[in-house]
Structures are given as C-alpha cells and as structure tokens.
Structure 1
Amino acid sequence: MKMTFRWYGNGNDSVSLEQIKQIPGVEGIVWALHNEPVGNIWPMEKILEIQKDASKYNLNIDVVESVNVHEDIKLGLPTRDLYIENYKKTIENLGKVGVKVICYNFMPIFDWTRTDLYKKLDDGSTALFYEKSKVEFEGVNPLVLIKEISEGSKGYTMPGWEPEKFERLEKLFLAYKNINEEKLWENLKYFLEQIIPVAELNGIKMAIHPDDPPWSIFGLPRIITCGENLERLLNLVDSKSNGITLCSGSLGSNPKNNIPDIIRRYNERIPFAHIRNIKIYENGDFIETSHRSCDGSLDITEIVKAFNERNYEGYIRPDHGRHIWNEKCRPGYGLYDRALGIMYILGIWDILEKNKY
C-alpha cells in the first residue's frame, strides 16, 4: 500500500508540500492541473513544473486526480472525438513523467454534490454535508442550489464545479434530457475503447471514481453506483488498465454497498483508493466524520483489513476530512484531519501486518 495526499497546487491550496512531507508514511501527492480548461491537452511545461515542485520534497507524482472528461464525450456529441484525441495526448504526456494512475469520473455535469460545505458537528468541527430533501424533491431548482453551494467555497476552485460550466448549465441540463443510463453506458464504452489502448502503451491505469452520491440527482443519470455496475464497467474493456478508484465514502453512502466485499472481489482492478468515513442518518442525509470506525457508519477497520488480506499494493489517500482546530482551508481538504486519518489507517495496517507473523 502506497500512501498519498491530495494537493491542489501552489496558490490553490492551504496545505504546503513541506507540510505534506512531514506526515509519516506519505510517499506522493495526488494532483491535477486544476486551472487547465476541461478538454484541453495538458501542456508538458505545466506537468514538469508540478514534478519539479514535488521532487524538492522527494514526493512522487504517480497519481493524477483528475483528468476530467468533457461533457461532449459523456453526451456522445459529434465533437467528442476531438476531446478524446486531446485526452489521449494528455495520457501520453503524463506517461512521460512516470504517472501510474489517472483517476476520472463519468458523472453528468457535476462531480461530487453536497448541500452544506461547513456543517457543524457535535464536537464543534465542521464537515461536508448532504441533505437529501434539498436535492431530491420534485420541483427543486438545481441552478439555485448550485449557486448557493459554490458561493460557500470561500474562494477555492472546486473540481467538477468549474466556473465556465455555470455559464451553460441550462443548456447542459437540456442536453441531458435525451440521455438515459443505457445511453450513458454506451458513451462510456466508446470513450474507454479509445483511451484504454493508449493508457496500456504508456503504463497507466485508468481508475474511474464512483458517483458521489451513488444515485440519480437532479434527474441526471448516474451509473457507477454499486458492485454490479462496477462489474459491468470492468467488462466494457477487459484490460488491467481499465480500473476503479475505490472510494469508501462515495459508494458507502448507500448502505446496500458492502465496501469490504467490493474490495475483496475487485482488488486486482483497484489501482487507487480513497478512504473516508461518513455518518448516514435514517432519512438518508449523510455527513463526513473522522476516519474512526466508531464515529461514522462505515467500518474503516474492516475496509483496511480487506485491502490488507489481498496484499494491496496500490495507492491510497485519506479522503475528505473535517475542518478542525479553526483551520481555514478548502472544503473537505484541510491538513489536520486528513493527517489524523492517515495515522489511523496506517495504525490499522501496521497491526494487521504484525499479526501476520
């Protein structure tokens, strides 16, 4: 298991590379060119700049999260071929600097969705929160809700919520009126058939991120939601370069998804994993918690154990953390709680390793 830490870049993150280097066990950063418009080819000079910055602290750049997929690809528009060609060239450029994993998602319009970025917990910390009734009732105006959420970001850019997308939200929602789940599957298959051979040639594993949350919102189709659909995804293109980002919090927000079982079943096709805990309420709302099993609804100990049983050699990072000790940071991505999460995960792993002998 290789521990990593997500970093948004100089000037775009409250956490520095110097601080990341001081977290025990961290070997690399999980990064992206967040200011590069979706659909563009990632320039080598910008990629090399990240590599140079990370190398100063002996941190690898093996994992990229994310090379976002242009909406025209998801919609299956005639223009998708141009954006797929650009995606291929980005894969080639990343292969030149030794990138091993590219995380991406196929969620229509939005990446993750929450209704409150700083919901207060009983201990006084704040965390990302999903209030089901605000999103999943008839007549909800997604444009109003989305504006409220984006205004709560405290000035940080949020992946999957690119500002240029807001300018054409109404048109995008209209375009997806003709896209159901089966059509989205077709468009994903078309995309994977084009890019997986390029990933193979460049020694890169593509790792799709589950939908967050793993069900339809705003009437949009979502397909990476459960074990059955992960199986279908892997069979679209049967290649070791076609893999999964196992996100415990995304899949785990649906209690029907047994995360340890999914890990044991698909371990060889999980090059990258996010580990986080959430507390699920009876009405379907959920909130991010500390990584400790007893603080949320997911058994993080059992999740780590599932990876350990399979001698997992992929990359892992702590996912969303609470905002604690008055830290001013990007929603869900402060230093302190994620660092605590790393120590919890590694503590479990070390005990499991010791007990093997």
Structure 2
Amino acid sequence: MNNIKKLEQTFRWFGPEDEVNLQYIRQTGATGIVTALHDIPCGEVWGTKEIYNRKRMIEESGLTWSVIESINIHESIKTAAPDRAEWIQKYLESLTNVAACGLKVVCYNFMPVLDWTRTDLNYILANGASALRYDAASLAAFDLFILKRAGAENEFTAVEKEAASACFNKMSEQEKTVLQNTIMAGLPGTDEVFSISEFKSHLRRYENIDAEKLRENLIYFLTAIIPTAEKLGIKMCIHPDDPPFPILGLPRIVCNESDIARIISAVPSPSNGITFCTGSLGANPVNNLTEIIRKFGSNIHFLHLRNVKKEKDGSFFEADHLDGDNNMAAIMSAIIEEQKLRFLKGRTDVSIPMRPDHGHKILDDFNHQCYPGYSAIGRMKGLAELRGLELGLRAII
C-alpha cells in the first residue's frame, strides 16, 4: 500500500497581520493553510466576498486553504439563550458560504467563554527555548485571590489551596497582572483580554449550566447544523477542551473517550467528527490516545499533533513534538493504520490534514511577535520531526 497518500502537512496562519507570513510558511514544506476570518466578530456571517478574497491570497502564495479553524460559536448557542436560533441560522449561512467557496473542513470548539487556557506563555526550558505552560497552583491562585470567584474555595482541596496561597504570596504585582491577562485572553487571532468584571458577567450566564446541560446545548447545535453540513459536503470536527478538565467554574464536555463517544453517537453522520488533538487529550492522564484513534478514527477529520509533559498536580507544559508523555510513534502508527482502512474502503479523505501544534520559541523566534504557541521556527522544527516520523514509519508498517 505504498500508494496511500501521506498526511496533508498544514500550518496555522492568523491572517495578513500575522508576522509568520504565507511566504515563510511555504518554506516550511507545508502545503496547506489552517486559518479563519478572525476580523469577523464571533457568530456573525462569513460573506462569500471575504472568504474568496482570503482564499485567493492563500492560493496566490502557492498554498491551499485546507481547514477553517474556526467558525466560532456564539455564547448564546452554548448557553441556550432565547436568541440562539438566530445565531444558529447565521452559522448555517456561514457554512453555506464557505462550501460555495470550496472549503470543506471546519474545526470548532464548544468551550465556554475562554478558548485554550495557559498560565505562562513564556516558560523557559533547560535549553533556553520557550514553551507554553499550565500551572495548577497559578490557576488556583488566580481563581481564589484575583478573580475571587464565589464558591471557588469549595472546589479545591486543602493541599491545592495551600499551594495556591504560596504561589500568590510570592508573585509581584506585575506578575499578578501578567497572570490575569494570560488567563483572560480571548479568542485566538485577537488581542481581546477580558477584564475581571467582564469575565464575571460571562460566568453568571453559566451559573445554571453544568456539564450535562452544556452537552445538551452542543447536541442541539449539532442536530441543527449537521444535516446541512452533510448536504454541503462539510466535515465538522470538534476540538477537545484545553485543558481537558473544568476550570474557573466552567464545565468541560470534550475531555475523554466517553465524551467523544457521546458526541458522535448523538448525531451520527460522516460530517460529525473530531479534531484529534494529542496535546489536549494527552493532558488528561485517563486517555489512551492510540485507543481513541482505533475507536473513532473514521470520524477524525483533522489532526493537531503536539506533546505535553504532565505533572502530578495537573500541571503540564508543551514538550518537543517527539519528546513528551505521549508516544508520538505509536500515535502516528495508529493514524497510518486508519489511512489504510480509508484507502481500502475507497474513501477520498485518506490524506488527513495535520498541523504541528504549539511550537516552542527557538532561535530567531525570540525576535518576532508571534501569537503564543505559533512561532515560525519552532513549529517548522515540529513539522520536520513529524514528517520524518511519518515517512520512517511508512517504510516499515
């Protein structure tokens, strides 16, 4: 089966303002672009003119717009607000428009209020590189002593509260401000940072929404959009929660194998799939990543490949792509086996789009302003490692 197509190598790009421009990306060896219209407010309709213009810009650089990440979901849909039908209709219009422009894979997430969350965007490793880090004590310190969320003290153990207090007491005022701005960052591709009062306002909308209710709201959304997505030939792929456990009083519902099974079985369709993120799922110690691929491989429409080093208290940091707690060789082998199954079934989506996720800052990356986790050279290093791993395994599997 040497004629099976390799994974499609892609790179995330945040649009014309991104210092890691399309010319740089082309030099990495990636052929596909993962991006979104970040200037359109969350929930508003993506017009065909704007989509075509962005697609033309990418194609004129010799690349392909392979995956949309993301058409963000309005909070009214997540909270089942009275106006959610209007926002779902707008989402359907966006899907119709992107399909008309030839775009067929849409990554999205259903995380309340915040996107992926870290406490340190510049964690210095032993070799001098910089990584992203989630520190459990710092998150608890923010929750208890800066946000001062009502009821938070009941959600931490005595040991966790002691660690949070020690962490908070040793921080300078500047460090507290940096921590707050890091956690309160808005959607990727924007410079939005919530104030404490704004965030508390969002939290109030979730006071009566637990994990089961949030899951009901997700299934309602999927029931409304998946039939249209299937008719349009669009593959929707939900991204796991990051980190894969509740934080700041907000529920999480895409954290493990059971969560994935419930989402896929609730609305059975080739268009209802997942973004398989080895970093998000890998940060949860209960997850067996290769087993998840074997069980849900046919529903994997997009791959985020990265690695993490976990700590006993729930903390973790982004490791080198091939050097972390996730066995990337075993993961890649399982992905290649899934490709073989697709090939034998005559599927047309054998070349699954893959991107290196959350690269370190290394070398000249420190001289550029990039979005956290999206440095040029660090990600190129990750892509080169993953490319070599894939080619090596294909020679022996």
TM-score scaled by structure 1? 0.92
User: Which 5+ residue runs of structure 1 have no aligned equivalent?
Assistant: none
Q: CA deviation at 1:140?
A: 4.8
Secondary structure of 2:65's partner?
A: strand
Distance 1:316 1:302 in 2: 16
* C-alpha displacement of 1:301: 1.2
2:103 pairs with one of 99, 102, 126: 99
Partner of 1:275: 305
Spell out the pairing of 1:76-225 with structure 2 (5 A cutoff). 76-136=80-140, 139-142=144-147, 148-149=178-179, 151=181, 158-159=187-188, 163=192, 166=195, 168-225=198-255
Opposite residue 56 of structure 2, the aligned amino acid is K
Give the deviation of 1:151 after TM superposition.
Answer: 4.2
Query: Which residue matches 2:383?
Result: 342
Contact 2:119 2:182 in 1 (8 A): no
Q: 1:298 to 1:140 in 2, by over 3 A?
A: farther
Letter in 2 for 1:299: N
Structure 2 counterpart of 1:139, one-letter code: L
Task: Find the aligned partners of 1:63 and 1:214 in 2 and give their Cα distance.
Answer: 23
Whichever residue aligns with residue 257 of structure 2, its letter is G
Q: Distance between the aligned counterparts of 2:316 and 2:379, measured in 1?
A: 19
- Distance of 2:272 and 2:35 partners within structure 1: 20
Alignment-derived partner of residue 2 in structure 1: 8
Alpha-carbon distance change, 160 to 147 in structure 1, aligned in 2, over 3 angstroms: farther
- Which amino acid in the other structure matches residue 377 of structure 2? Y
Change (3 A) 1:71 1:333: same
Offset at residue 352 of structure 1 (A) = 1.7
Q: Within 1, Cα distance between the matches of 2:114 and 2:353?
A: 25
What are structure 2's unaligned runs of at least 5 residues?
1-6, 150-174, 340-349
Of residues 221, 232, 250 in structure 1, which corresponds to 2:280? Answer: 250
What secondary structure is seen at the aligned counterpart in 2 of 1:168?
Answer: helix
Supply the RMSD in Å over aligned alpha carbons. 2.2
Structure 1 residue 142 displacement after superposition: 4.0
Write the distance in 2 (CA, Å) between the matches of 1:160 and 1:49: 18
2:326 to 275, 295, 298: 298
Residue 355 of structure 2 corresponds to which residue in structure 1?
A: 317
Distance (whole Å) between structure 2 residues aligned to residue 189 and residue 146 of structure 1: 38
Q: Deviations over 1:222-276 (max 9, x none)?
A: 1100001100000110001000000000010012111111111111100001000
Query: Is the Cα–Cα contact under 8 Å of residues 282 and 289 in structure 2 kept in the other structure?
Result: yes
Q: Which of 361, 371, 393 pairs up with 1:330?
A: 371
Once the two structures are superposed, residues 292-327 of structure 1 have per-residue CA deviations (whole angstroms, 9 ceiling, x without a partner) of 2xx311111111111011215321111001111141
Mapped to 2, the partners of 1:92 and 1:111 lie a distance apart of 25
Judge which range, 191-200 or 276-285, deviates more.
Answer: 276-285
Percent identity between matched residues is: 40
Whole-angstrom distance in 2 between the partners of 1:146 and 1:109? 21
